Structure 1
Amino acid sequence: MHLAGRVWLCAGDPDPESVQAGVALIADERGSVLVDAGQSPSHAREIRAALLAAGLPPPRWLVYTHHHWDHVWGACAWPDVEIVGHVSGADLLRAEATRPWSVRYLREEVRSNRRLGPSFRARALAVDSWDELRVLPPTRVFSDEVELPTGVLVRHVGGRHAPDSTIVVVPDSGVMLLGDSWYPPPAHLRTPTDEPDLALVGRLLDDDIGWYVSSHSPPLTLDEARRAITG
């Protein structure tokens, strides 16, 4: 779906049990910027086919909004891209890459920690072939902010959902991609008092940005985002 300017969206699955994040493409003839990779190699291939059918330039850069599996497990199906991510996420993904991912491993982990069940069941359903899955850390890391050659801004915001949470701003299109930055911690780490971090979103709102896109929610206009924060 075309959102605004040169920003296109591939929506995730609205069923929360599938844990499938949306993916964005910032089109540019010099090389597009892909924001998040898809939850699996097969999901990434579906997105690639949709972008090809829409006639959009292929990605040259892949930006991780954070290290969680549903945002990065499709990276191995995107050839010839430079992967950009926050330095803290790189360390976490290097550790994730050493784990023996398989259905057997998922079962063993859930036996040790039942709270992992929903996430790990979703992983088992998402991956068609464990032999092709490779968890890829970023090949280019940053600490605070980096601007890509196409004018796309990548900025670390942190937060409780993930230490490496990153937003992507496309000033010429008036779009801010929030990833999961304002969401509470993942379900297996969440406590009854954890709530969405609306204050974080409030600090990010900008009169020059007309659209705010979260990975698991429909896009909001600036006015809708303001109303969501104030209740």
Structure 2
Amino acid sequence: MAEFVHVAGRVWVCVGDPDPEFVQAGVALVADERGSVLVDAGQSPSHAREIQAALAAAGLPAPRWLVYTHHHWDHVWGACAWPDVEIVGHATGAELLRAEAARPWSIPYLRAEVLRNRRLGPSFRARALAVDSWDELTVLPPTRVFTDELELPTGVVVRHVGGRHAPDSTVVVVPDSGVMLLGDSWYPPPAHLRTPEDAPDLALVARLLDDDIGWYVSSHSPPMTLAAARAAVAG
């Protein structure tokens, strides 16, 4: 059952299902009465509805902005279930998502793609499990794009960092709360593109560490304090 837990200041996190078979990313909310910022959309319309119910149960304000940390399906396929939000994302991700939106997503299409490339199997099986109705799925590119950095009216900073996991990887910084939301930025490439040499990009994390940021939150990992993040980088 989806549930929001408080991290620090205005930042709340709803963790994803830890079972790797489901490939379910967590989402975060930066709460603000002027309009909250939702970071990532959920992996499907049904997951987005679970997140909406968790928002209501926690008494948190509805989002006005939805920020994509990157274009991968488990972060964006829930966007079509979020009404009245401005979707913010990196220009590279916007291009990639326009191509994704044109694909004929369905069980027959997933099956055909896996037969073409067996390495897609785990990801595409997870997509089949995630989507209740293909008729309700619409892949949405961002409606507001940026290239380097963007500050939203509520003081939330969106910053492109790139990396090997996705070219459009973006972190979200909430300075007044001392929180940085990392998305998947430091993870190795997706499984179907990964080689045995690929590993977590700890150098990227090291570049992001900041004495003014006390918490670091990744999409598929528990929140880490600055001290724990430094220890992880140091090995």
Measured against the shorter chain, the TM-score band is over 0.9
- 1:37 corresponds to: 41
Q: Does 1:165 align with 2:169?
A: yes
Work out the CA distance in 1 between the residues paired with 2:118 and 2:74.
19
Higher alpha-carbon deviation: 49-58 or 38-47: 49-58
Percent identical: 86
User: Shift of the alpha carbon at 1:17?
Assistant: 1.4
Work out the CA distance in 2 between the residues paired with 1:143 and 1:202.
22
Tell me the amino acid that sits aligned with residue 67 of structure 2. V
Partner-residue secondary structure (3-state), 2:13? strand
User: Shift of the alpha carbon at 1:134?
Assistant: 0.2
Compute the RMSD of aligned alpha carbons. Answer: 0.4
Higher alpha-carbon deviation: 123-132 or 13-22: 13-22
Work out the CA distance in 1 between the residues paired with 2:63 and 2:156.
13
Tell me the amino acid that sits aligned with residue 78 of structure 1. W
- 2:181 corresponds to: 177
Alignment deviations for residues 79-121 of structure 1 (CA, whole Å, 9 cap, x no partner): 0000000000000000000000001100000000000000000
Tell me the amino acid that sits aligned with residue 62 of structure 1. L
Work out the CA distance in 2 between the residues paired with 1:135 and 1:169.
25
Partner-residue secondary structure (3-state), 1:17? coil
Alignment deviations for residues 104-141 of structure 1 (CA, whole Å, 9 cap, x no partner): 10000000000000000000000000000000000000
Q: Structure 1: 5+ residue runs without aligned partners?
A: none
Work out the CA distance in 2 between the residues paired with 1:161 and 1:77.
26
- 1:154 corresponds to: 158
- 1:193 corresponds to: 197
For residue 228 of structure 2, the aligned residue among 219, 224, 228 is 224
Tell me the amino acid that sits aligned with residue 87 of structure 1. A
User: Shift of the alpha carbon at 1:53?
Assistant: 1.1
Alignment deviations for residues 50-101 of structure 1 (CA, whole Å, 9 cap, x no partner): 0011111100000000000000000000000000000000000000000000
Q: Does 1:70 align with 2:74?
A: yes
Work out the CA distance in 1 between the residues paired with 2:152 and 2:202.
28
Q: Normalising by the residue count of structure 2, what TM-score does the alignment of the two structures yield? A: 0.98
Work out the CA distance in 2 between the residues paired with 1:107 and 1:49.
32
- 2:18 corresponds to: 14
Work out the CA distance in 2 between the residues paired with 1:106 and 1:30.
41
Work out the CA distance in 1 between the residues paired with 2:203 and 2:99.
31
Tell me the amino acid that sits aligned with residue 173 of structure 2. V
Matches within 5 A, 1:23-172: 23-172=27-176
Work out the CA distance in 1 between the residues paired with 2:37 and 2:24.
20
Alignment deviations for residues 15-60 of structure 1 (CA, whole Å, 9 cap, x no partner): 1111000000000000000000000000000000100111111000
Partner-residue secondary structure (3-state), 1:18? coil
Q: Structure 2: 5+ residue runs without aligned partners?
A: none
Question: Size of the alignment, in residue pairs?
Answer: 231
Work out the CA distance in 2 between the residues paired with 1:72 and 1:205.
26
Work out the CA distance in 1 between the residues paired with 2:95 and 2:16.
26
Q: Normalising by the residue count of structure 1, what TM-score does the alignment of the two structures yield? A: 1.00
